[in-house]
Amino acid sequence: MKKLLLVLSLCTLLPVLGTSQGLVNVGKTAAKSAVKTPKVPTVSVRPPIAPRVPQYLGTVPHALGTTVDQAVLRTVEATAPQVTTPTLSARAAKEQQVAQLLGEQAQLQAQLQLNSFQTGIGRSVLFAPLMSSAELGYSVTVFKTSYNGAQEIYGVMPAHALPYDWMHGKDSVGKNFTVHVKQADGSELALDAQVVQVSAESMLALSLVKFSPQAEAYLSPLELADEPAAMGELLFSYGYAAGRPTAISRTVNAQSFVSVRTNQAIEGDREGFCGSPLLDANGQIKAIHTGTVEGNGKRDDVSYGTHVGFIRKLVEAYHNGGTSSFGLILDGQHVTDLNVDEYISAFYLYNEAGKKVAQQNLGKFSQSTLLSAIQEHPEAAYLQLTSRKAQWIQEGGLDILKEDRSGRDKTKHQHWYNLQTRQIEPVRPAVIKQ
C-alpha cells in the first residue's frame, strides 16, 4: 500500500514540473528572488604592464601640482596591440593603431590635469575678459625670469588681443585690463594688469604684461625653457577656450625661426586659447600659442606658437626703452636684424641687372612664402625687405596698436640682402634704381 501511494505522488508531481508553465513559474520565482537579493558582480583587474612610451609620458609637468594616475595610463597602454605580424602592410597598420593609442594616452594625461586647474595652473594661466564680454577673453601666461640678477614676474598674451581699430576695440583686451585668478577655494580674484611692451601682431605676435607687486603674491609663475621646442616633441597646453578651462596635448611637426607648428584638437569654439603656454615634460614654457589654421577636421587643424626666446626679447626691450633686436633667418642665413616691434610688410626680388622679377605684400609674415618665391626665381640676385613698426595711437578714445601700411607711415625701412654672396647689403645696390 505504501509503495502504491509513493508512485501515485510521483506521477502527480512530474507533469507539473515537466510543463512549460511549470518552468515559467520557476523562472519568475527565481527572478523575484534575484531582485530582492542582487548579486555583486565580480570585477577582474588587468595586471599592470610596463608602459611602452617615452618616460616623460609617465608623469605630468611638475608645475601643475599633481601626477597622473599611473593605473589609468597603464589601462590605456594595455589596449595597445602587439606588433607581431611579419607582413609590412599589417605592421604599418599596427604601428598606426599604437600611435593613435599613444596620442589618446597623451590627451588623457592632459585632460586629467584639469582637476588641478583651480589650485595650480589656474594661478599660472589667467583669464583676461574682453571689454565687451565677461565670459569671453584671452589666456595670459604668467612666467618668471631673471634680468640683471633680479627675479621678475611678467605675463604674456597674444598681440591680436589688443585693439587694432576703434570699431572693434570693445571686442578685445585693452592696454590696461583685468585678469581673473583662480583661488584654491574655487573663487576668482580680479587683478589689474598693463601691457608694457608689444611686438607686431603680423610678426612675433606677443605682448608683455606687468602686474603690481601686490598682485604678484597671488600668482604662480612658470619657468622659461632654455632651449626651443624640438621636432616631434610632445607639449602640453592649458588655457581658456571660449572662456572654459581647456587642456590639450600637441606634437611639434614643423618650425621656423619665429614659431613652432603643432597639431591641435580642441572640441568646439577655441577662441581665447591664444596666450596659453606650450609646456614641455618639465613644465617649462617652450612657446606661446598665437593662432590656429583650420583644416578639414579637428585632426587636420594646425596651430602656431612663438618661440620662448622672443619672450626674453620683450623683457629686454621693456628694460631698454623698447629696443631689442633679433635676426631674421632664412634657410639658415642671417638676412637682417629687426626690432621686436617691427614687422615685414612686403618683399621684392631683383635680378643682376637690377630689374624687379617678383614682389608681394604681406598681411602676416610667412617664411615659407618668401622661400618659395626665391626658389621660383633662380635668377633673383637681390632681396629687398620692407619693414614697419607697430605703434600705439589714440583712436576713438581707445589705445590702438596700429600696423600702418600706408604711404604716411614714417617707420618704413628697407633692408637689402645679396642672394648670391649671401651677405647683408648695407645700402641699396647701385644697379637697382629708385
13-30: average pLDDT = 37
Q: Is the pLDDT of residue 186 over 80?
A: no
Whole-structure pTM over 0.75, yes or no? no
| Number of other residues whose CB lies within 10 A of the CB of residue 12 | 9
253-258: average pLDDT = 90
Among the residue ranges 117-131, 194-208, 225-239, 407-421, the one predicted with the least confidence is 117-131
The pLDDT of residue 94? 76
Q: Is the pLDDT of residue 38 over 50?
A: no
**pLDDT, tens digit (0-9, with 9 covering 90-100), for 345-391:** 999 999 999 999 999 999 999 899 999 999 999 999 999 999 999 99
The pLDDT of residue 103? 65
**Spatial distance between the Cα atoms of 390 and 342, rounded to a whole number of angstroms:** 6
Residue 215 DSSP symbol? H
Would you place residue 111 in the very low, low, confident or very high pLDDT band (cuts 50, 70, 90)?
A: low
Q: How far is CA 112 from the centre of its chain?
A: 17
300-329: average pLDDT = 93
**Spatial distance between the Cα atoms of 347 and 362, rounded to a whole number of angstroms:** 8
Q: Which residues contact 325 (CB under 8 A, 6 or more apart)?
A: 337, 338, 339, 340
The pLDDT of residue 272? 86
**Spatial distance between the Cα atoms of 248 and 411, rounded to a whole number of angstroms:** 40
**pLDDT, tens digit (0-9, with 9 covering 90-100), for 383-397:** 999 999 999 998 888
CATH topology of domain 121-323: Thrombin, subunit H (2.40.10)
Among the residue ranges 7-11, 264-268, 278-282, the one predicted with the least confidence is 7-11
Q: For 31, what's the count of Cα atoms within 13 Å in the CB-facing half-sphere?
A: 6
The pLDDT of residue 104? 62
Averaged pLDDT of the chain: 77
| Number of other residues whose CB lies within 10 A of the CB of residue 170 | 13
152-164: average pLDDT = 93
| Number of other residues whose CB lies within 10 A of the CB of residue 148 | 6
390-408: average pLDDT = 88
Span between the terminal Cα atoms of the chain, in Å: 135
Q: Is the pLDDT of residue 162 over 80?
A: yes
CA angle 16, 21, 23 (to 5 degrees): 80
Cβ atoms of 63 and 117 within 8 Å: the answer is no
Q: Is the pLDDT of residue 29 over 50?
A: no
232-257: average pLDDT = 88
Q: For 344, what's the count of Cα atoms within 13 Å in the CB-facing half-sphere?
A: 27
Cβ atoms of 358 and 384 within 8 Å: the answer is no
| Number of other residues whose CB lies within 10 A of the CB of residue 14 | 11
**More confident of the two residues 169 and 368:** 368
246: burial class by Cβ within 10 Å (0-12, 13-18, 19+)? buried
Would you place residue 158 in the very low, low, confident or very high pLDDT band (cuts 50, 70, 90)?
A: very high
* Nearest Cα to Cα of residue 386 among 369, 409, 402: 409
Cβ atoms of 94 and 81 within 8 Å: the answer is yes
Q: Is the pLDDT of residue 420 over 50?
A: yes
